[in-house]
Amino acid sequence: MAPRTVAGGYVALGDSYSSGAGAGDYLDSGKECKRSSRAFPVLWAEAHAPASFTFAACNGAGADDVLTSQLGHLSPRTGLVTLTVGGSDSGFVSVIAKCALGGSDGCLSAVSRARTTIDGSLSAALDRLYSAIRSRAPAARVVVLGYPHLYHLQGACALGLPDGERATLNDAVDHLNAVIAQRATAHGFTFADVTAAFAGHEICSSRPWLRGVDVLAITESYHPTAPGQSLGYLPVLTRVA
């Protein structure tokens, strides 16, 4: 089947999962944002040749950061918008650290606090952001992509968590994805789930597409590698965009 064409420009918004942190080959124009030439938005644009392509996603961006710093790239001529956001708002980096260092009780407590944030302030922030995206790009197809499970259960790796903590973190990702999907659908956007695409390629699997903890590049820890971008995120986007 021939690739679907995009009438108008393509704007890639969002956080580190869209910018490509962890995938390497960072572009000179976006090194502070860790914008990678191997990120799925770049790969999709190369394959589909939209009228224009703006790579606005930035490492560490939360929903309010996208709202205030990235939406200026949208216009009535925008034909496609993609977005990953919510992980930073949920405090997942600190949650993972707590699960790694704080034992089962500390992990459960950190995840519980993250769920409260997801259901409260994040849900409201997503509504504000999604409303603003639709206002600025009224004709665009908007695809909101979710997050993969971080850990493979019953796999072995250095600095790996026990299966109980791994399952707790994966359940938290499911909850985050569910809230993102609910709010995206309410605004008429398409939600694209990537958990099945990453199945068998989580941290502690035999062929991971996600980076484990890296003390020398801490901002790249728990992010998709180049294969995670090209074999995980890209096919999911291609199916729905």
Residues involved in catalysis: 16, 223
Rounded CA separation 49/41 (Å): 11
Rounded CA separation 186/89 (Å): 20
Instruction: Output Rg (C-alpha) for the chain, integer angstroms.
Output: 17
Rounded CA separation 21/15 (Å): 9
Q: How would DSSP label each residue in the chain?
A: -PPPP-SSEEEEEESHHHHTTTS--B-GGGGGGT-BTTSHHHHHHHHH--S-EEE---TT--HHHHHHHTGGG--TTEEEEEEE-STTTTTHHHHHHHHHHSHHHHHHHHHHHHHHHIIIIIHHHHHHHHHHHHHH-TT-EEEEE----SB-TT---TTPPPHHHHHHHHHHHHHHHHHHHHHHHHTTPEEE--HHHHTT-SBTSSS-SB----TTSGGGTTSB-HHIIIIIIHHHHHHH-
Residue given tokens 């914008």 in the structure block: 35
